[in-house]
Structure 1
Amino acid sequence: MPPTDRTPLLPNGSNGHPPPSVAQKFISVLRAEGEPGWLQSYKFFFFGSWLNLLLLFVPLSVVSHQLGWDAALRFGFSFMAIMPLAKLLGEATDQMSLTLGQTLSGLLNASFGNAVEIIVGIAALLQGEIRIVQTSMLGSILSNLLLVLGSSFLAGGYYYSESNFQITAAQTSASLMTLACITLVIPAAYHSAQEHSKTDSLRATDGLLTLSRGTALLLLAVYVAYLFFQLKTHAYLFIAEDEGEGEEQKMSVVAAGSALLLVTVITSFCADYLVASIDETAQRYHVPKPFIGLILLPIVANAAEHVTSVWMAMKGKMELTIGVCVGSSIQIAAFVVPLLVIVGWITKHEMTLFFADFETIVLFVSVMLVNLLIMDGKSNYMEGLMLIMLYLVIALAFWVS
């Protein structure tokens, strides 16, 4: 008589372990093997930097707005609250990109890298503050091209007599920036021509709106092509030698994504409060509104990028610095500004690509200077001083305007 097999039936998988419960399966979906847990992720997110102490200004911003405190307090609290929120947005995006890879990382940076600018821009647009939208967008471009890039060249020049970077990638990015700049010159030229020909104002306005919306769609298409060029067909031009080395994942993908969504919602409220207080603050304290939009708002929105860019330059990683500064400017000019024109189209706000003549000239000369300085693929502290000086002259011009 054959021996009876007394081995108990094994569950599916034949490893002797009980099948995973529904809760365990759900957790495995939310956190991949080897990723930090939720508690560890959020601990790093909220307690990983001393700058996060400024998050105390978030409830102050809400309270001051709800209780109708002085405009300067409402503006100041909202201003300070957005600074750590901008850094947290960048941190969450970076953590997601470590797992999702380069292509998705690029798409994430396109969507959330300038999230504060998009949120502030939409908040101002919905309140009819077209000038604040335009000056804040222009200010973000100038801040990245002149102040941040200049500070990075200056900081890099302190440690290295000369820093090198990939010429082809830098020139491609600068050329696209020039194209975006030209698309802002054309509406200004059109507006000037219509005024000189004494065309009917309603017809001229309709023509300017059609030109701006059509150009916005074309710019978005070019930006998508640039992403494909940067991330797929010519990715080797944009990859620094040491990029990705030493990067340690501190957050799981789902935790970083949920944090990104949470901070975006909070930022939208603070941005709305900030925009609502600008008009009264400007009138009561005699601060020019263009100065607020062009200088103050971009410094807050780009705080995280400022620190990252200068830090990379000090470590000699100039390709990453160029990517942060020029790349972020391209995102604003070829993605965010056209996007806001489309949003204005949908919400029936007459947002156009027509900037004032003075602002258009300022942008054009800034892009021209940056092109001249990076065409040799080298940088030094003197080039950084030139960029910073131009930025200070522009800030002074908008202060007295």
Structure 2
Amino acid sequence: MPVTTETTPLIPHRPQHRSVTRRLTTLVQAEGEPSWYASYKWMLSSWGYLLLVLVPLTFAADSAGWDAALRFSFSGIALIPLATLLGDATEQMSLSLGQTLAGLLNATFGNAVEIIVGITALLHNQIRIVQASMIGSILSKILLVLGCSFIAAGMKYRESAFGVAAAQTNGSLMTLACITIVVPAAYHSARISHNQPIDISVVTAEPEHTGLLIISRGAALLLLCVYIAYLFFQLKTHSDLFRTQPSLAFLSYEPGWTSAEAQGTEQEEPEEARMSVVAAGVALLVITVVTSFIADILVASIEETATRYNIPKAFIGLVLLPLVGNAPEFTTSVFMAMKGKMELTIGVCVGSSIQIALFVVPLLVTIGWVSGHDLTLFFDNFETVSFFTSVILVNMLIQDGKSNYMDGLMLVTLYLVFALAFWVS
């Protein structure tokens, strides 16, 4: 009887290394998500990221002790692509998370550059730079970025429309933040004695200074609570008010367009994630760390640059630093406006300003409280007036839910007037 041999095993042999590799891949990349290579290839596909070469150049300039203006310029420009990368990583993580987690993530990293620069300047005891950069960031968003967006949309459309309810809510929140900043200035004016103004960068144990600290810290905690309520309002209870609608730009200058066509009847498909969650998270962590080191070099060079080249520190904090931090938002906002997506434009400009006023500024005041740096909400009188008048103008222009290029021209003109005044201050 012939002997038969089994040549095909009943249970096929599977190499152990493949099983381990598959487990590791599943751990860091969910089913259907882009690979790490595809994630980072997409993230760095833009030509604008060639500016990342300034990151190592900034470290080299700092190590070699180059001129302060070079260190300031290199670090400032290097923050532009880093801010864009932070925005891309945050957006990609938001696409894969739930609405609530996405909102919290955007609240934390939506203005990451401003937060990092603010904390770095605070730890360097540059109180004036912290305050000026925060006010300057708000003015840059609601005047320059929003104004240029209105002008860009006005070059294509005779008039553009956006949700009135969301605009009114955002305008009211900006007014609340503005009044909160006015209160410490009013308190200072009421308690001042012998016409000797308080130096807002030096807080002592005098009753007026103690009162400013109490008002500022209490108001900061209240504003943080309001911002948390705003997130709940926006993401849960009244999310329909903030839901992005189809393009509402109408009465196009282009011949052959009708209102119905301009309003857009096509429903856009939801955006697909270009990065895996873990890849975006790792990128977010690495970029945040690099940005913190670049911000430290930037802040350390401000004093020497201002002194050597006779540049007012107020101009650096109120104009130059915000221009660097808001460069990615400027591009996004103008691009969306030209496509008629004015609700997204309002969300980028006004929504981001609310985030600065209700989250970033109170957060920095709280961090200063914990770290022993007496940061208050008592800003320079001219900065307070600039903020107050800017909020009034923006509220007047967005309350009707419509915009045109003349609205944008008014916003940009006011910003240029403020920039000129900050230069000579």
Q: Which residue of 2 aligns with 1:343?
A: 367
Shift of 1:240: 1.1
Decide which of 383, 387, 392 is 1:359's aligned counterpart.
383
Alignment of 1:310 with 2:334, yes or no, is: yes
> Per-residue displacement from partner, 1:319-347 (whole Å, max 9, x unpaired)?
11101100000000000000000000011
Q: Which residue of 2 aligns with 1:44?
A: 42
Q: Which residue of 2 aligns with 1:270?
A: 294
Q: Which residue of 2 aligns with 1:240?
A: 244
Aligned residues: 391
Corresponding letter in the other structure for 1:285: Y
Q: Distance in 1 between matches of 2:190 and 2:65?
A: 45
Corresponding letter in the other structure for 1:240: T
Alignment of 1:322 with 2:346, yes or no, is: yes
Q: Which residue of 2 aligns with 1:378?
A: 402
Q: Which residue of 1 aligns with 2:191?
A: 194
Q: Distance in 1 between matches of 2:309 and 2:126?
A: 19
Q: Which residue of 2 aligns with 1:157?
A: 154
How does the TM-score come out when normalised to structure 2? 0.88
Q: Distance in 2 between matches of 1:10 and 1:32?
A: 28
Shift of 1:21: 2.7
Q: Distance in 1 between matches of 2:239 and 2:50?
A: 38
Q: Distance in 2 between matches of 1:315 and 1:160?
A: 10
The alignment partner of 1:257 has SS state of helix
Pairing of 1:162-173 with structure 2 (within 5 A): 162-173=159-170
Distance 1:230 1:17, change over 3 A: farther
Q: Distance in 2 between matches of 1:9 and 1:105?
A: 49
Shift of 1:201: 6.4
Alignment of 1:174 with 2:171, yes or no, is: yes
Structure 2 unmatched ranges of 5 or more: 1-5, 197-203, 247-266
RMSD value, Cα: 2.1
How does the TM-score come out when normalised to structure 1? 0.93
Q: Which residue of 2 aligns with 1:3?
A: none
Q: Distance in 1 between matches of 2:92 and 2:81?
A: 16
The alignment partner of 1:304 has SS state of helix
Q: Distance in 2 between matches of 1:376 and 1:198?
A: 43
Corresponding letter in the other structure for 2:415: Y
> Per-residue displacement from partner, 1:132-180 (whole Å, max 9, x unpaired)?
0000000110000000100110001111100010000110011001101
Q: Distance in 2 between matches of 1:101 and 1:129?
A: 38
Q: Which residue of 2 aligns with 1:284?
A: 308
Q: Which residue of 2 aligns with 1:87?
A: 84
Q: Distance in 1 between matches of 2:269 and 2:422?
A: 42
Q: Distance in 1 between matches of 2:340 and 2:269?
A: 14
Q: Distance in 2 between matches of 1:88 and 1:244?
A: 25
Pairing of 1:248-267 with structure 2 (within 5 A): 248-267=272-291
Structure 1 unmatched ranges of 5 or more: 1-5
Q: Distance in 2 between matches of 1:10 and 1:356?
A: 78
Identity %: 66
Corresponding letter in the other structure for 2:336: M
